[in-house]
Amino acid sequence: MSETHAEHEAPRSFIRRYIFSMDHKVIGIQYLLAMLLLAVVGLALTVVMRWHLGIRTVLRPETYLSLMTMHASLMFVVVTVTPTSAFGNYFLPLQVGARDMAFPFLNMLSFWVALAAGLVLLSSLIVGAPISGWTAYPPLSAVGGVAGPGLGLGQTLWLVAVALLCVSSMMGALNFIATTLNLRTRGMSMMRLPVSVWGWLTAAVTGLLVFPVLSAGGIMLLLDRLGKTSFFVPSGLYLGGEVLPHQGGSPLLWQHLFWFFGHPEVYIVIVPSMCMVTHIMANFARRPIFGYRYLVLSLFGFVTLGGVVWGHHMFVSGMSPYSGLAFSILTLFVSIPAAIFAISWLMTLWGARIQFRPPMLYCLGFVSLFISGGVGGLFNAQSSLDIYLHDTYWVVGHLHLLFAMAAIFSVFAAIHFWFPKMFGRMMNDTLGTIHFWFTLVGAYIIFLTMHYMGFLGHPRRYAEISQFDFLKPAASAHTLISVVALITAGAQILFLFNFFWSLFAGRKAATNPWNSTSLEWTLPNPVPFSNFERDIPVVHRWAYDFELPGGAQDYEMQTAPGPSMDGQTGKGVPTEKST
Amino acid sequence: MRRAVAWLVFWLVAAGVVAAFYKRVLWFPPAVSEHGLSMDSQFSVSFLVIGTLFVAAQALFGYAVLRGRGKSGQPPSFWPSNPRFEKRLILAIVGVFSMGSEKAWANMYFRKPSPDALEIELTAEQFAWNVRYPGADGQFGDTAPKFITRANPIGLNPSSRSGGDDLVLLNEVRVPAQRRVRLTLRSKDVLHSFWVPNLRLKQDIVPGLAIQVEFLATKTGQFEIACAELCGLGHFRMKGTLIVMEAQEFDQWLEEESE
Amino acid sequence: MTSEPALAADWSGGKSPYAVSHLKLGMWLFIVGDAFTFAALFVGYGYLRLGHPEWPRPFDTGSILQASLMTFFLLSSSATMAVAVAKARKGDASAAVQHMVLTVIGGLLFLIVHALEWRHLIQQGASLFSNPWGVPLFTGCFFTITGMHMAHVASGLVVLLVIATKLKHQHATADHVEVAGLYWHFVDLVWMFIFPLIYLLSMRTR
Amino acid sequence: MSLRPWFPLVSWSSWAWLALLASSLLRPLQAEEGGEVTGQVLFEGEIPRPKRIRMNADKECDKMHGETKVYFDNLVVSEGRGIRWVFVYLHGVKGEYPTPADPVQMLQKGCGFSPHVSGVRVGQKLEILNEDPVPHNINCTAKFNKPFNETQSSGNRKEQVFTNAEVMVGFRCDLHPWMGAYCGVTKHPFFAVTDEKGQFTIRNVPPGSYTLKAWHEELGSQGAPVTVTAGASQAVTLTFKGGQ
């Protein structure tokens, strides 16, 4: 029984090779391109919304709300899957030294289901997108069209898309875990894995545990909508001039189920981002990662804490104040693994000879955004302060700084870093640098201003602010944000241009242009169908042996024998005889 | 030249931020409730500690990056880390916040309901606030969804004995200053959230539940009530007014309204 | 430590360092994930049930006996499945196939009795949104959870049939049988939660 | 393409002339053939006190009315016990009747719907206009037609055509929850809405036996048999009991 594709020939036909491909590299690129497309749509929605909020009122309130819902949902589909599914798919098998994923067919299925999820989501935009936000809190989302426009068919399609996403993510997660555990090459012990692999593994484990919960919640919500059950709908709701037939459900149940998924979901995005950044940063700092073991430990911390802090989204939701207390304290503890990462980055950079190439710039931007977003979280985590900050623009600013901006910076870093291996060409450094500065400054101005608007008590999801006197001072802030957001969104054209131009006209890349250490850089461009053309190389060290004393070059590939700085030399390394 | 421009930009931004904080542009509206003051002081502490942490972390990070510029050929230098110190620092931060913050939280939620609080019921709907005072008998009449009409927005049972004198207002909550008020929050349709920035009070309103919150307003004046939980297309327009009056003025008003 | 040549073969890529086949590992991971789906459903059920002091308890002794019969069918199918796995491991394909067929019959009997029970309940006026016994959510939860479980059993039957056929024609290995067995035992395990939580707790008390 | 400002005036007035011409040709014909149903809808029981709308819930609505008090229109009973805003229509009408080209208008004005109750034909346009300086919301809770729910900004005009007969289609403005309107959608033109005195007239009814149905927002609906003869007027009095 063998499922590796070393034993079958590379498919010849175009369709089997590039469309319905089971090759993890093709699937990785498919993910990347599909998600770039969806991200552009999501960004376009932002442009419309910012135009409406800060420059001229052009939308109906319900249109604003549907655009907002679609923006969040699309980005959440996109951002969720990109760090893991695009880069994880392409580079996890390469970095652990495998010929493919453990389940190539499941991998293909996972992509097509994810794509279907994205398309169904887009189709809900056409029939009238829901206005219930990406959290889809019932009863608004559960009782159908009587609650508002878009809550009929649009909301149902939205739910179908979410269900598809769950299925796709579960298949992906299963595959990632099996591959990491089962397909490592000789000498690649768990403590020698590149940190990026650890990140993908962590995301997969988290995903495997929480996506089923969302899908169960989704089934119940779908039944509430289509089967007229009342899981999330209490008795005696009066909507649209009549009393609804539902009886006895609890809207809070959905919030519990949703956030049990929703909070770890943030880690599913940010943890692989952090890990990819750590990996890339070590390369451009030419320094071994500081505290690799602690990083791995703190990943376990993220998974564990991620599963027990969902209640901090519900401090004012009407759940028991005692649980609020518990969730608040637990949430503050999340700062520990996060700080371990921050300290590791700082220490890795300290005194390093930094090469300021675009991948590194994005990593540095990531760290800065991560610190800013992270300290903001210390405010929300305190239940008493969250009474004020909850559901205000503070939260919008906070989540975008971390969940959106930091994550997208890691994606930019990864694209610039791995582009040569994926497409055999280099991206343009100058364009990358300009794009970096525009995006970083833009992100800070936009989202720090939003934090600041939170002080006013500006509720989020407001289509207009003219009604309230206490929001009058926010009008100029909205204009500022909109202008900067339009410029920043415009700057993304630089990136898209750089990406597509380099795809065809970039400088041809060498096998290992960044003098990097992990296994993918031992492979020729383009990477052959079964990755390692002959035997899979044996690994003798971790991926962060930079600046070794006394070496001829300032790095050692993982395949190079000899003493390493990973503290495990001699352990688990096969003797020469056995190769 | 480039350096001069960079410095200029830096100082301009810094001056702008300081000025914005100093002039209290987009700052918290003044607190007018008892618990609001303790929340504000907790916020000030957090702001100071976290602000310092934020500046220190970013500065340290910036310094590390700048030091790495243009260095070549020099052997890398390591900063001896002190994990024990770092761990203690983080635990101290967690400790400070959990104690301070949870005290403020407990002050608000873990107190016995005061027996002499003024009872007001607030029933939210898409997209308005129905406000009910119990009237002279001090008792709310019973309600049911089946009695709801446009003219009877909260569904008062017409045959209810204690309901006859209930006073129902729309989008207007009047309370006396310096007296505890107990709000019972209900919703007719979807989730809403009762949000008065000046009161430092935000509470989601869940259909099917009657959630009670207490507050004591310290200053008279008119304050806006906003909805803070997405409730549909008119979410942004769901506005109410909280009017805090002097005690006798309030009594007088209540008498006049319920004649 | 295994001998060197075997080690070398294992490490040449595409093989597991933990000596667990991908398929088995994958199935375990799937089971973990799926357990969370059911766990979420059960948590929802518990949450709603605790919120209703007068949750209906309509099942009389007859219904419980019927459910016990279903439990019996499912449990014995698990037993035959265990035998099938053991036989397949020993290389006795035909005995394995026989026991798998027995398993399928057990599963089918379970499904049939279950379907009859559903029909009976529906005839009495139970539906997803109402029932004659009180809180409508009772049947909402009942049909959702048992329905999910039935879907799992049904798809398990299909998998078992496919693997049994393949085994007969030597297209499948003992590993396949074992993995199918894992799934089948999991489905059985879920039922062992459903039976007390949904049936026994809803028994009529006089 | 540039249209002169007078163009719509001319085109509309020519349509109006044509319509007038057509109706003048048709009317004598129908009057000869048809009969008339008139009557009154009365209220029995203690006449409820009208309830005041708290316009101060929206400052801008309040401004429009100044010191004038505005009352709910859900149950309006005159001193002579006539009930206003009752939708009266004939049930059991056979035959096809041409759909009028002119739209029926419903205004959102002074933070209230005007008229509160109206009738429209299947296939005829219902024109909803927001004449207020504030935005409103049209939440149409139709059951047999396609419901819709959208914000209507100040000055906006919305046209809607109903494809199925439905008595009644409800309209609400959720931004001002005291606002409500009803529109009866019928296949034939034989309906009316009672006036201040609770009186109504249905003209040009082809002779035959029908049920006269009356619908009221809060009091429910009831029916009475009527037989219409050509050229005659049939008077019907319906009574709703209140305060049950």
Claim to verify: residue B95 and residue B200 sit in the same structural domain: no
pLDDT digits 0-9 by tens, A526-555: 898 888 887 888 888 888 888 776 667 788
**Residue B220 belongs to some domain of the structure:** yes
More confident residue, A343 or A4: A343
Chain A, residues 146-205, CB within 8 A of chain D, namely 146, 148-149
- Helical (H) or strand (E) element with D237: strand D233-241
Are the beta carbons of A145 and D149 separated by less than 8 Å? Answer: yes
pLDDT at position B133 over 60: yes
Looking at the complex, does the CB of residue A444 fall below 8 Å from at least one CB of chain B?
Answer: no
pLDDT at position D56 over 50: yes
Please name each of the domains of chain C with its CATH number. 34-47+57-202 (1.20.120.80)
Could you give the 3-state DSSP secondary structure of residue A515?
A: coil
pLDDT digits 0-9 by tens, A428-481: 999 999 999 999 999 999 999 999 899 999 999 999 998 899 999 899 999 999
Are the beta carbons of A237 and B197 separated by less than 8 Å? Answer: no
More confident residue, A78 or A396: A396
Claim to verify: residue B11 and residue B89 sit in the same structural domain: yes
Claim to verify: residue D48 and residue D169 sit in the same structural domain: no
For residue A474, which residues of chain B lie inside 8 Å, CB to CB? Answer: 26
Claim to verify: residue B7 and residue B130 sit in the same structural domain: no
Are the beta carbons of B171 and D58 separated by less than 8 Å? Answer: yes
Which of D54, D72, D137 is the closest to B234 by Cβ? D137
Are the beta carbons of A240 and D139 separated by less than 8 Å? Answer: yes
Mutate to test the interface with B, among A135, A237, A259, A316 (most CBs of B within 10 A): A316
More confident residue, B134 or A3: B134
For residue C41, which residues of chain A lie inside 8 Å, CB to CB? Answer: 216, 219-220
Work out the minimum CA distance from A6 to partner chain D, whole angstroms.
58
CA dist., res. A296 & res. B144, Å (int): 56
Percent of residues, chain B, with pLDDT higher than 70: 93
For the residues B217-245, what does the mean pLDDT come to?
Answer: 94
pLDDT digits 0-9 by tens, C133-190: 888 899 999 999 999 999 999 999 999 999 999 999 988 888 899 999 999 999 999 9
**Residue B71 belongs to some domain of the structure:** no
Beta bridge partners, D205, equal: D35
Task: Please tell me the predicted confidence (pLDDT) of residue A6.
Answer: 44
Q: Annotate A535-552 with b (16+ C-beta within 10 A) or e (fewer).
A: ebbbbbbbbbbbbbeeee
For residue A60, which residues of chain D lie inside 8 Å, CB to CB? Answer: 150-151, 153
Could you give the 3-state DSSP secondary structure of residue B212?
A: strand
Claim to verify: residue D172 and residue D53 sit in the same structural domain: no
CATH label of the domain that carries residue D219: 2.60.40.1120
More confident residue, A156 or B21: A156
CATH label of the domain that carries residue D168: 2.60.40.420
Number of structural domains in chain B: 2
Residue whose token pair is 């887009």: A122
Confidence of residue D14 (pLDDT cuts 50, 70, 90): low
pLDDT at position A5 over 50: no
Claim to verify: residue B16 and residue B48 sit in the same structural domain: yes
Mean pLDDT, chain B, whole residue set:
86
Residue whose token pair is 């008339």: D36
Claim to verify: residue B127 and residue B233 sit in the same structural domain: yes
Query: Residue D162 corresponds to which tokens in the numbers above?
Result: 């109903």
Assess whether chains B and A touch, using the rule of 3 or more C-beta pairs within 8 angstroms: yes
Work out the minimum CA distance from A339 to partner chain B, whole angstroms.
8
Chain A, residues 35-74, CB within 8 A of chain D, namely 60-62
Looking at the complex, does the CB of residue A242 fall below 8 Å from at least one CB of chain D?
Answer: yes
Cis? peptide before A526, omega within 30° of 0: yes
Claim to verify: residue D104 and residue D162 sit in the same structural domain: yes
Task: Please tell me the predicted confidence (pLDDT) of residue C10.
Answer: 42
Query: Which residue in chain A has the smallest CA separation from D60?
Result: A467
CA dist., res. C111 & res. C105, Å (int): 10
For residue D48, which residues of chain B lie inside 8 Å, CB to CB? Answer: none
Query: Residue D209 corresponds to which tokens in the numbers above?
Result: 């036996």
Query: Residue D68 corresponds to which tokens in the numbers above?
Result: 């004038």
CATH label of the domain that carries residue B139: 2.60.40.420
In degrees and rounded to multiples of 5, residue C88 shows phi and psi of: -65, -40
Closest CA to D136 of A60, B172, A238, A149: A60
Claim to verify: residue D15 and residue D59 sit in the same structural domain: no
Closest CA to B230 of A139, A450, A206: A139
Claim to verify: residue B201 and residue B154 sit in the same structural domain: yes
CA dist., res. D190 & res. D202, Å (int): 6
pLDDT digits 0-9 by tens, A214-228: 999 999 999 999 999
Looking at the complex, does the CB of residue B232 fall below 8 Å from at least one CB of chain D?
Answer: yes
Looking at the complex, does the CB of residue B150 fall below 8 Å from at least one CB of chain D?
Answer: yes
Mutate to test the interface with C, among A176, A182, A257, A532 (most CBs of C within 10 A): A182
Are the beta carbons of D58 and B127 separated by less than 8 Å? Answer: no
Are the beta carbons of D56 and B172 separated by less than 8 Å? Answer: yes
Distances (CA, A) of B142 to A95, A233, B139, D90: 68, 22, 9, 40
For the residues A263-286, what does the mean pLDDT come to?
Answer: 93
Of the ranges A67-71, A290-294, D141-145, D171-175, which one carries the lowest mean pLDDT score?
A: A290-294
Residue whose token pair is 């969720």: A80
Write out the residue range of the structural domain in which residue B147 sits. 118-257
Query: Residue A536 corresponds to which tokens in the numbers above?
Result: 């899979």
Fold of A23-234+245-572: Cytochrome C Oxidase; Chain A (1.20.210)
Are the beta carbons of B126 and D56 separated by less than 8 Å? Answer: no
Which of D135, D141, D150 is the closest to A146 by Cβ? D141
Are the beta carbons of B105 and A351 separated by less than 8 Å? Answer: no
Task: Please tell me the predicted confidence (pLDDT) of residue C151.
Answer: 96
pLDDT at position B247 over 60: yes
Number of structural domains in chain D: 3
Are the beta carbons of B193 and A62 separated by less than 8 Å? Answer: no
Q: What residues contact residue C134 under an 8 Å CB cut-off, 6+ apart?
A: C54, C55, C56
In this structure, the strands spanning B240-245 and B172-176 are: parallel
Claim to verify: residue D107 and residue D220 sit in the same structural domain: no
**Residue B74 belongs to some domain of the structure:** no
Task: Please tell me the predicted confidence (pLDDT) of residue D5.
Answer: 53
Work out the minimum CA distance from A290 to partner chain B, whole angstroms.
9
Residue pairs spanning B and D at CB distance below 8 A: 49
Which of A62, A145, A242 is the closest to D151 by Cβ? A62
Strand order in the sheet with B128-133: B167-170, B128-133, B118-125, B180-187, B211-216
Mutate to test the interface with C, among A190, A231, A576 (most CBs of C within 10 A): A231
Confidence of residue A575 (pLDDT cuts 50, 70, 90): very low
Assess whether chains C and D touch, using the rule of 3 or more C-beta pairs within 8 angstroms: no
Q: What residues contact residue B173 under an 8 Å CB cut-off, 6+ apart?
A: B120, B122, B129, B131, B225, B240, B241, B242, B243
Write out the residue range of the structural domain in which residue D85 sits. 35-96+188-244
Distances (CA, A) of A496 to A426, A491, A500, D44, D142: 14, 9, 6, 75, 47
Claim to verify: residue D202 and residue D240 sit in the same structural domain: yes
Query: Which residue in chain A has the smallest CA separation from B50?
Result: A375
| Contact status, residue A530 vs residue A155, Cβ threshold 8 Å | no
Looking at the complex, does the CB of residue D141 fall below 8 Å from at least one CB of chain A?
Answer: yes
Q: What is the DSSP string of D182-220?
A: EEEEESSS-EEE--TTSEEEEEEEPSEEEEEEEEETTTE
| Contact status, residue A398 vs residue A480, Cβ threshold 8 Å | no
pLDDT digits 0-9 by tens, A300-325: 999 999 999 999 999 998 888 888 88
For residue A178, which residues of chain C lie inside 8 Å, CB to CB? Answer: 22, 25-26, 29
Which of A61, A145, A241 is the closest to D151 by Cβ? A61
Task: Please tell me the predicted confidence (pLDDT) of residue A573.
Answer: 40
Chain D, residues 144-203, CB within 8 A of chain A, namely 147-151, 153, 170, 172, 180
pLDDT at position D69 over 60: yes
Query: Which residue in chain A has the smallest CA separation from B208?
Result: A234
Task: Please tell me the predicted confidence (pLDDT) of residue D25.
Answer: 55
Claim to verify: residue B101 and residue B127 sit in the same structural domain: no
- Helical (H) or strand (E) element with D87: strand D87-91
Task: Please tell me the predicted confidence (pLDDT) of residue B4.
Answer: 82
Claim to verify: residue D136 and residue D181 sit in the same structural domain: yes
For residue B58, which residues of chain A lie inside 8 Å, CB to CB? Answer: 368, 371-372
**Which chains neighbour A (Cβ–Cβ under 8 Å, 3 or more pairs)?**
B, C, D
Claim to verify: residue D145 and residue D221 sit in the same structural domain: no
Are the beta carbons of A241 and D141 separated by less than 8 Å? Answer: yes
ipTM over 0.85: yes
More confident residue, C18 or A288: A288
Residue C53 DSSP symbol:
T
Are the beta carbons of A60 and D150 separated by less than 8 Å? Answer: yes
For residue D135, which residues of chain A lie inside 8 Å, CB to CB? Answer: 61
**Residue B73 belongs to some domain of the structure:** no
For the residues D196-223, what does the mean pLDDT come to?
Answer: 91
Which of B25, B54, B91 is the closest to A473 by Cβ? B25
**Amino acid identity at B103:** K
Residues of chain C predicted below pLDDT 70: 1-17, 206
Claim to verify: residue B100 and residue B152 sit in the same structural domain: no
Query: Which residue in chain C has the smallest CA separation from A99?
Result: C14
Residue pairs spanning A and C at CB distance below 8 A: 152
Which of D148, D151, D180 is the closest to A60 by Cβ? D151
